[in-house]
Amino acid sequence: MFKIIVETIVALAATPAVQAATAAPPAPGASGGANNVWHLVLSSGLVVQLVLALLLLFSLVTWGVIVSKYLAIRQARQQNRQFEGQFWEASSLEQAQDAVKALAASPLAAVFHLGYAELARIARLRAEGRLKGVSQPGLMENLRRALSQGQAAESTRLARTVTFLATCANTAPFIGLFGTVWGIMDAFRAIGAAGSANLATVAPGIAEALVTTATGLFAAIPAVVFYNYFNRRLQVLDAGMESFRRHFLNLVELSQQDGAIPSPDAVAPDQLRPEA
């Protein structure tokens, strides 16, 4: 029995795997670069490097969009709060117009400016006698249309460049996968040319190829997270514009005199301030 055990140990020690495992470690710096990601990038093929450059560009643009859009949405929310405080405290639309002129980043202010401009236009045309025979429902429809156009324009402005995040989130992993597949093809081609298929030959090429998949995920994950975050914030801002549009129309309708659409100086927001 002892003889069999000894023969088994000797046989295992003679295998290439055990010999490689028990061999002396390589000299310092001999293979350190192979474990370095930067070394893998530099030693990869041209196609893989182009894919990595494209993914790096995607990542840089994504973070640029994230930072700029985060600041823009935060500013819009802050100025919306300022607008609501100033608008509903005003004794007339003219006073509100003067108070909120500086709130250029507020979507609510932009919608209000269009509604105010339409009311002022109606008042001017009425003073010139050019609205004879024009129905009041038709004029109210013009006001609704102006407010809706303002809301749509602000929604489009706020959502600008956010769609790039969706594009990056959907395409970056596939671009990285393409680079991985191409790198693996190159690795197997090199293996075939060398006529050797051991792990030491396969591993470097596979590792180089997998770098593109990791880079694709690095670009896609923040894009997915912030795309969903910004979408939620944009929905809240759009809901706020829709609520203000309805309040504004209600304010004008309740301020009508003898069924006629009032002029801006005859509408008093402070008397019809909505409850919080």
pLDDT of 214-258, one tens digit each?
889 999 999 999 999 999 999 999 999 999 999 999 888 888 776
Least confident of 103-112, 175-184, 197-206: 197-206
Q: What is the pTM of this model?
A: 0.75
Per the domain annotation, does 160 fall within a domain? Answer: yes
Query: Would you say 259 and 88 are in contact if contact means Cβ atoms under 8 Å apart?
Result: no
How far the first Cα of the chain sits from its last, in Å, is 90
What does the pLDDT average to over 150-176?
92
Q: Considering its fold, how many domains does the chain have in total?
A: 1
At residue 197, the pLDDT reads 60
Dihedral pair phi/psi, residue 223, rounded to 5°? -65, -40
Q: What is the DSSP letter of 197?
A: -
| CA–CA distances in Å: residue 234 to residues 162, 237, 275 | 10, 5, 23
Q: Is 179:48 a contact under the CB 8 Å cutoff? A: yes
Q: What is the mean pLDDT of the chain?
A: 79
Whether 12 is covered by a domain: the verdict is no
How much of the chain exceeds pLDDT 70, in percent?
75
Q: Calculate the alpha carbon distances from 153 to 82, 111, 149, 234, 275 in Å.
A: 21, 9, 6, 13, 27
Residue 80 has pLDDT above 50, yes or no: yes
Question: Which letter does DSSP use for residue 31 in this model?
Answer: S
pLDDT reported for residue 199: 59
Q: For residue 237, how many C-alpha atoms fall within 13 Å in the half-sphere facing its CB?
A: 31
Structural domain boundaries, residue 50: 43-254+267-272
Integer Cα distance of 90 and 167 in angstroms: 44
Say if residues 179 and 213 touch (Cβ distance below 8 Å).
yes
pLDDT score of 203: 65
Instruction: Please give the radius of gyration of the chain, using alpha carbons only, rounded to the nearest integer.
Output: 34
Residue 142 lies in a domain: yes
- Looking at the domain assignment, is residue 196 inside a domain? yes
Q: Which of 131-140, 228-237, 248-257, 266-275 has the highest mean pLDDT?
A: 228-237
Q: Which residue has the tokens 């893989």?
A: 48
The answer to whether 227 and 169 have CB atoms below 8 angstroms apart is yes
State residue 186's pLDDT score. Answer: 72
Question: Residue 37 falls within a domain, yes or no?
Answer: no
> How many Cβ atoms sit within 10 Å of the Cβ of residue 219?
25
CA separation for the pair 62, 253 (Å, rounded): 45
DSSP secondary structure of 45-71: -HHHHHHHHHHHHHHHHHHHHHHHHHH
261: pLDDT confidence band, cut at 50, 70 and 90?
confident
Q: Above 90 in pLDDT, residue 208?
A: no
* Position 24 pLDDT exceeds 70: no
The CA distance from 118 to 144, in Å, is: 10
What confidence score (pLDDT) does residue 172 get? 93
